Amino acid sequence: MSKIQSTFNKGEGVLQFKPCWVPRLFNKPGKRLKLHPDDYYALGMERGAIVERWFSSVASVTTPNAPEDEGMSYVNTDGTNEGKVLFKEFIDELGAALIGEELKSKYGTFPMYAKFFDYNLPLFHHLHQGEEDAALVNMNPKPESYYFPAQYNNHPGEFPVTYFGFDPSVSKEEVKDCLKNYMNHDTRITELSRAFRLQLDTGWFIPPMILHAPGSLLTYEPQWNSDIMCIWENVVAGEVMGKGLLTGCVPEDKHDDIDFIFGLMNWEENIRADFREHYFRPPIVCSEDSAHVEKWISYGNDYIGAKELTIMPGKEYISKDKAAYGCILIQGYGQFGAFSCETGNMLRYDQFSADEYFVSEDAAKQGVKIVNTAQHEPLVILKHFGPNCGMPEKIK
């Protein structure tokens, strides 16, 4: 029997991951990832600070000079680095037994992943290309959801406000003028946008082709398998964005084509008057009793679903779902299926943890027994799914 099959059997259809940390070359770390203070530059100063942690990922980053497996999740098979195995290899060998027949036949893999991104300053106004434009650079589009868990937001960062799209009064010519002057002066493109102060324990869904400049709360982001982006804001909190961030995921012959870059955006969606009503995602309680409460936190789209599950102190609950999912603990400790689980409070860069798992489709349908062994503290878990999870279609 292979190591992959024996690990899968031992976990009763549940896998445990090693933390996957991702550095970036821009912005400043918010230092809310529960990473040891000495380890934010564990990969060297030239790689930038660690500002993200990725979950259930078969995707890799687009950062120049990054290792090929950066951003890809590893399964903990025996508690050693020598024994870790890429999650992708588990999917390749186990196939439908792990992710279910529907996802395997339609996508060939688990089509989404999630992350924490943790920036102390606001991010740039940017978009993720749609399917047609992403295909031109051999990438996938990137619909994404946001959720702002209180447990990971002990401080709000410098600017907990997100800009979305453009104000309906703005003209196309004003936006094009910003793109034309990307390398000439600070275009202050967010002056043309609309800002919303972020609310803890709520979220948003943002499809491809919509401009957004995320605020400085630590954000849980379930998303499609892609790291594609096109940055339209050239100066952010005093940091200058190079042209490569505007054109890095644009065909080379279109780097100076303002009309093409402008066309990466869905204009009507960016200026829609009911933007908040359409894309804001307050939680929806889907089940509740004396032992637990579970809420949909990403829903109303064709790509990615997510839930927040809370188990009360001293209680146990059989958690059943319609599809395979990844998950991350954000509070408490106890038992997750065959595993002892605990939320990480201060992790070293190369340390294993007991806070991240992947549940196969059969195990999800049969139910995972979760026990909160704490006397006073809730056990809180975030779950991320592909499109076959049975999420609500719209806000109720």
13: left (phi over 0), alpha (psi -120 to 50) or beta: left
- Distance (Å) of CA 389 to CA 10, 147, 321, 392: 25, 18, 7, 9
Cross-strand bridge partners of residue 240: 235
**Per-residue model confidence (pLDDT) at position 53:** 97
| End-to-end alpha carbon distance in the chain | 48
* Tokens, residue 321: 């779902």
With 0-12 / 13-18 / 19 or more C-beta atoms within 10 angstroms meaning exposed / middle / buried, residue 154 is exposed
* Tokens, residue 239: 């940091």
CATH of domain 3-281: 2.60.120.10
* Tokens, residue 51: 């500002």
Q: What pLDDT digit, counting tens, does each position of 270-314 carry?
A: 999 999 999 999 999 999 999 999 999 999 999 999 999 999 999
Angle in degrees, CA 53, 221, 210, rounded to 5: 130
Write down the domain spans for the chain: 3-281, 284-385
Nearest to 335 by CA among 302, 306, 374: 374
How many whole angstroms separate alpha carbon 367 and alpha carbon 183?
55
**Per-residue model confidence (pLDDT) at position 87:** 98
The CATH architecture to which 284-385 belongs is Sandwich (2.60)
**Per-residue model confidence (pLDDT) at position 396:** 41
Ordered per-residue pLDDT tens for the chain, 396 residues: 899 999 999 999 999 999 999 999 888 999 999 999 999 999 999 999 999 999 999 998 878 788 999 999 999 999 999 999 999 999 999 999 999 999 999 999 999 999 999 999 999 999 999 999 999 999 999 999 999 999 999 999 999 999 999 999 999 999 999 999 999 999 999 999 999 999 999 999 999 999 999 999 999 999 999 889 999 999 999 999 999 999 999 999 999 999 999 999 999 999 999 999 999 999 999 999 999 999 999 999 999 999 999 999 999 999 999 999 999 999 999 999 999 999 999 999 999 999 999 999 999 999 999 999 999 999 999 999 999 999 998 654
**Per-residue model confidence (pLDDT) at position 395:** 52
How many whole angstroms separate alpha carbon 77 and alpha carbon 4?
8
3-281 matches 284-385 in fold? yes
The residue behind tokens 């650079």 is: 137
- pTM, two decimals, is 0.95
Hey, what amino acid is at 259?
D
The residue behind tokens 């005093």 is: 238
